[in-house]
Amino acid sequence: MLRKGAPAPLWLLCIAGFLVMADGRVITPLLPAIERDFHTSAGTAGLTATTYIAAYAIFQLCYGPFGDRLGKVKVIRATLIFFTLGTGLCAAMPDLNSLLVMRALTGISAAAVVPMGLAYLGDTVKIEHRQKAISLFLSCMIAGSAGSQVLGGLLAQYASWRTVFLIFAVVAAVPALLFQRAGVDAPTPGESRGHLARYREVLGRAPGFYGVCVWEGFVFWGASAYLGAVLVDDIGSSYVVAGLLLDVMGAASVFTARHQGKRTGVGRERQRFRTGSVLYAVGIGMVAVLGAVGGAWPAWFAVAAVLLGIGLISAHSTLQVRATEVAPEARATATSLFSCSLNVGGAAGSALAGVVVDGPGYPVMWGACAVLVAVLVLVGPRALPRRQPAPAAAAAAA
């Protein structure tokens, strides 16, 4: 049990990250049931996913300066309570419009967890251990994203979509309550400035880095939303088998996170990002030719999932670590801008991927994605920002 006033441990952040990502992805298999219950079209029911994602991405920018001024844990504590309440209330909504409003409010409260969690790890974990800690945080988010789609499909089939939100609310209450017993971190000292001024200064320090974050979201996260769909729609897999194969990616991510090297420095991190991106590109290339391997497709996809899991953790966690070092004196602002950049890219990539899937088809979409990731291998490492001196160190040097 968490001791009153103790620092927020990594495992508690991991649970919160798992739930936030699971809540965002679980809606996908629930859409047919929501469509049926509210007597609406598939496209209209899909707005329940759109409102959550849009609110989640936009409001990440609101929390950064608050995290720096008030403390990261304070922001997480408050928003997790609203996240729990919002998730539970989704189960009680009588019509689609009220459900859309509640999903948007839930997305707003969920938006604080990832950027504040990254900033908190940046404040409390030494740089030589930070890659491993952030990798574990990321792997739990990936596991939540993958596992929730299978769980949601099973519960929607044998219970109801409302049951899914009730269960999520009960589970989310655990970290929400435990965070109330966690010690709060001190606000970051510094002059009080408006949100826009803070973001303008942080962006000015590393514009190329944040551009790469948008690109990575576009090619990594945008297309990955269709990994389950290609198995079900194109290959004819069941939801259960698709979920198990996606969990292979989650398992590979967790394994990689636990064995992530401690080597730091921009040179080492550039190599890690480059290697991870190459592995991810190979995995995507394997998915592109999935329909041509015949009956061996489950084993083929499992190998691809392993490469995707290892590549994603290696490349993306490197960007996360660098995001915590762009502006140590405004760390929450920097990580909020990072998360927003990633989600904007992911939303754009998912939308464009959907157009390609409906047109030329899955193989063309995956092939194009593999090429774009390969280009990122050349561009991305050069945009990693160098470590900035912490405020205390800078003052001592002066």
Mind listing the pLDDT tens digit of every residue in the chain (398 residues)?
556 666 778 888 999 999 998 888 788 777 778 888 898 876 677 788 778 888 888 898 889 988 988 889 999 999 999 999 999 999 999 999 999 999 999 999 999 999 999 999 988 888 888 888 888 888 888 888 777 767 777 777 777 889 989 999 999 999 999 888 887 776 766 555 677 888 888 999 889 999 999 999 888 877 777 787 788 777 888 767 777 787 788 788 878 877 775 555 556 788 888 899 999 999 999 998 988 888 899 999 999 999 998 998 888 888 888 898 888 888 999 999 999 898 888 878 877 887 887 788 888 888 898 889 888 888 888 777 665 555 443 333 33
Residue 1 in domain: no
pLDDT tens profile 224-261: 777 877 887 778 887 677 777 877 887 888 788 777 75
175-234 tens-digit pLDDT = 999 888 887 776 766 555 677 888 888 999 889 999 999 999 888 877 777 787 788 777
Q: Is residue 202 part of a domain?
A: yes
For residue 398, being part of any structural domain is answered with no
Rounded distance between C-alpha atoms, residue 27 and residue 218, angstroms = 21
Residue 239 lies in a domain: yes
CA dist 185 and 189 (Å) reads 12
Q: Is residue 148 part of a domain?
A: yes
Q: Would residue 301 count as lying in a domain?
A: yes
**Residues in contact with 6: Cβ distance below 8 Å, sequence separation at least 6, in sequence order:** 181, 182, 183
Alpha helices, DSSP H only, in the chain?
10-25, 27-37, 42-45, 47-70, 72-90, 96-110, 113-124, 127-158, 161-180, 195-205, 207-216, 222-224, 227-229, 239-258, 266-288, 297-323, 331-358, 362-379, 391-397
pLDDT, position 392 = 46
Tell whether 397 is covered by a domain: no
Provide the token pair at 47. Answer: 């707005």
Number of domains in the chain: 1
> Would you say the C-alpha torsion 50, 55, 58, 64 has a positive or negative sign?
negative
Task: Give me the residues paired with residue 183 across strands.
Answer: 7
Letter string b/e over residues 8-29, b meaning 16 or more CB atoms within 10 A of that residue's CB: bebebbbbbbbbbbbbbbbbbb
* Cβ atoms of residues 283 and 372 within 8 Å: no
* Nearest CA-CA partner of 254 in 312, 176, 204, 200: 312
β-strand partners of 6: 182
Exposure of 338 by Cβ count < 10 A (0-12 exposed, 13-18 middle, 19+ buried)?
A: buried
**Residue 7 DSSP SS3:** strand
Name, in order, each residue with C-beta under 8 angstroms of 293's C-beta and a sequence gap of 6 or more: 300
Which residues, in sequence order, are bridge partners of residue 182?
6
**Helix, coil or strand: residue 191:** coil
Cα 139 to chain centroid distance, Å, stands at: 9
* pLDDT for 397: 32
What integer pLDDT is reported at residue 245 of this predicted model? Answer: 83
Q: Determine, yes or no, domain membership for 269.
A: yes
Rounded Cα distance between 321 and 196, Å, is 23
CATH of the domain at 200: 1.20.1250.20
Tokens of 157: 């089939």
Domain of residue 16, residue span: 7-388
The residue among 310, 318, 330 whose CA lies nearest residue 127 is 318
How far apart are the C-alpha atoms of 123 and 121, rounded to whole Å? 5
3-class SS at 206? coil
